Amino acid sequence: MKYFYYPGCSLEGTAREYSLATTALLAALGGSIEELPDWNCCGATAAEAVSRLLCLALPARNLALAEKAAPGQDILVPCSACYLNMRRAWDKVCHDPATRRQINQTLEEEGLSVSGSTKVRHLLDVLCLDFGADSVFKKLKRSLAGLVVAPYYGCQCLRPYPVFDDPEAPSCMEPLIRATGAKVHPWSMGAVCCGASHGTTKKEVGLALVGEILDDARGADVIVTVCPMCQMNLEAHQKKISKQRGRDLSISILYLPQLLGMALGLPEKDLGLNLNLGIAPGFMEKLRSPLIKQQENKADAA
Amino acid sequence: MIPKERPFIEPDKFHDLEGVQKMLASCIQCGTCSGSCPNAFAMDVTPRTLWRMVLTGQKEAIFQTRTFILCSSCYSCTLRCPRGLPLTEAMSALKQIASREGLAPYKASTRFYKSFLDSVRRHGKVREGEMMTLYFLSMKNPLLPLQFAPLGLRLMLKGKVGAPFPTRGKRPLESLFNKVMQLENNP
Ligand code: SF4
Ligand code: SF4
Ligand code: SF4
Ligand code: SF4
């Protein structure tokens, strides 16, 4: 399976480990990715707050680049914010001819145009539907039995476009987690918003939302995420929130492909595990359970 | 140098409060949106009440609330509204009006968004360090960065943010930005 890879700006900066782990995991699973040439930022939530057309034109340029480079090849997007923006632009291009015309006017000078022929796929969508838990299980090199994992979906990969999971009660990460031998933490905060950019612009509100999520995660060893903003919000303020709430809420936060990559026995450096901000004491030792010997693996599968 | 701010003007039906009123016309005031909103606890006016204010045209009161600026685009309300109304889009439309008119209560958010887009316009991508610098410069508040210093420092130690100084280079998105502005100013 071949995809255009759209890392987005966060994955080139503060979320480098997400990009490393995504690339390493897909290679291990036999997927092939090629970075979308000359891509631009999709505008995040900023363009949406300032101008409707800008918030469509920025992501549409990326769609146009993909259509030109290899018609029909899906774009794989790991950041939920980028995903939503691209998906929305794709939706308008396909269903709103007047808006498509305007968008194409903004692309004209660069000799680009967009028709909607390229599909936008979130990493989680691709992992669940194109690869699936089986493909993880078959390549398992390390059992993560003993770990309790809380799957955090956030919102923008689920809503408003319900493409690959139930937007109110998502569960698509669970088979992937179970395939590694780990247990799924039963909780209700997996699809509740973490506050998005509140983390930087309206800090108190963001902290309260994240506090609720961390509180509900108690009992799990790790929360896994599929979005650089979710990740940053959950990992960056744990000390402060613990102080505010008068209990220790520190917990490790990994990107889903980092966890799956460990289960596939990929080198920690390739998964960027040295770059995470939130790793609780003792967690890495748990994660580094010994690799499964070849025969045991076969016996298990039989 | 910071590019001069120019207003964006919406070309289409969501241009003004009237447009937002049309989006919400069939609201039955059931309150599902308020009950679904993760940010409602911090809002001075609940989403349901805000929609009533929009429908009754209380423009001044609307643009004194914190409600729409606290919307984090989680789409819970949009998903659950029994009338299927585009509520997140309505929140965005209010943000766009506040930003376009440069309304004082929303300066911090508006400036943050504009610094972000300035960075995109310059480089095609966001340079996180530069974005924050532009933001603080536009706030003209040198004390502000202190609030962010601890996180910034941790990111820098991990080698995750570059030198926080604006740089010059080619502007790959200039034609796109210009065209958007042209279309929005002369629909
Ligand atoms: S939304 Fe964020 S991560 Fe996505 S391209 Fe834009 S700045 Fe980057
Ligand atoms: S959970 Fe927060 S950061 Fe993640 S997608 Fe939703 S709003 Fe964005
Ligand atoms: S959920 Fe929909 S119908 Fe109900 S109050 Fe909110 S906007 Fe109105
Ligand atoms: S989209 Fe905005 S208003 Fe609606 S529930 Fe989410 S945060 Fe609240």
**Domain definitions of chain A by residue range:** 2-122, 132-301
Asked if A159 has any chain B CB less than 8 Å from its own CB, the reply is yes
| A128 pocket-lining for ligand 2 (C-beta < 6 Å) | no
Q: Which atom of ligand 4 is nearest to the CA of B87?
A: 4
Q: Do domains A2-122 and A132-301 have the same CATH topology?
A: no
> In CATH terms, is domain A2-122 a member of 1.10.3720.10?
no
Q: Quick one: fold of B11-102?
A: Fumarate Reductase Iron-sulfur Protein; Chain B, domain 2 (1.10.1060)
**Residues from chain A contacting residue B73 (CB–CB below 8 Å):** 45, 48, 84, 155-156, 196
Please state the ipTM of this predicted complex.
Answer: 0.78
Pick the CATH number of A132-301 from 1.20.1440.130, 1.10.3720.10, 3.40.50.11810, 3.40.720.10: 3.40.50.11810
Cβ within 8 Å, pair A46-B162: no
The residues, ordered by sequence, that sit 6+ positions from A177 with a Cβ below 8 Å of its Cβ are A149, A151, A183, A184, A224, A259
* The model's pTM: 0.85
pLDDT classification of B152: cutoffs 50, 70, 90: low
> For A228-253, how does the pLDDT look when each residue is reduced to its tens digit (9 = 90+)?
888 988 998 899 999 999 999 999 99
**Domain definitions of chain B by residue range:** 11-102, 107-185
- How far, in Å, is the centroid of ligand 1 from the Cα of A218? 30
The residues, ordered by sequence, that sit 6+ positions from B94 with a Cβ below 8 Å of its Cβ are B20, B54, B62, B63, B68
Asked if A204 has any chain B CB less than 8 Å from its own CB, the reply is yes
- How far, in Å, is the centroid of ligand 2 from the Cα of A138? 32
Check pLDDT > 60 for residue A223.
yes
Within chain A, residue ranges assigned H as helices are 8-12, 16-29, 44-50, 52-69, 80-95, 97-108, 123-125, 132-138, 173-179, 198-201, 203-216, 228-236, 238-245, 256-263, 283-287, 294-301
**Residues from chain B contacting residue A273 (CB–CB below 8 Å):** none
Taking the CA of B49 as reference, the closest ligand is: 3
Q: Mean pLDDT, chain A, as a whole number?
A: 91
Cα–chain center distance at B103: 12
- Helices B174-185 and A52-69: crossing angle in degrees, nearest 10, is 140
- How far, in Å, is the centroid of ligand 4 from the Cα of B86? 11
Check pLDDT > 70 for residue A202.
no
Asked if A241 has any chain B CB less than 8 Å from its own CB, the reply is no
Residue located via tokens 């990969």: A157
> For A146-201, how does the pLDDT look when each residue is reduced to its tens digit (9 = 90+)?
999 999 999 889 988 889 999 989 999 999 999 999 999 999 999 988 875 544 55
Residue B170, amino acid: K
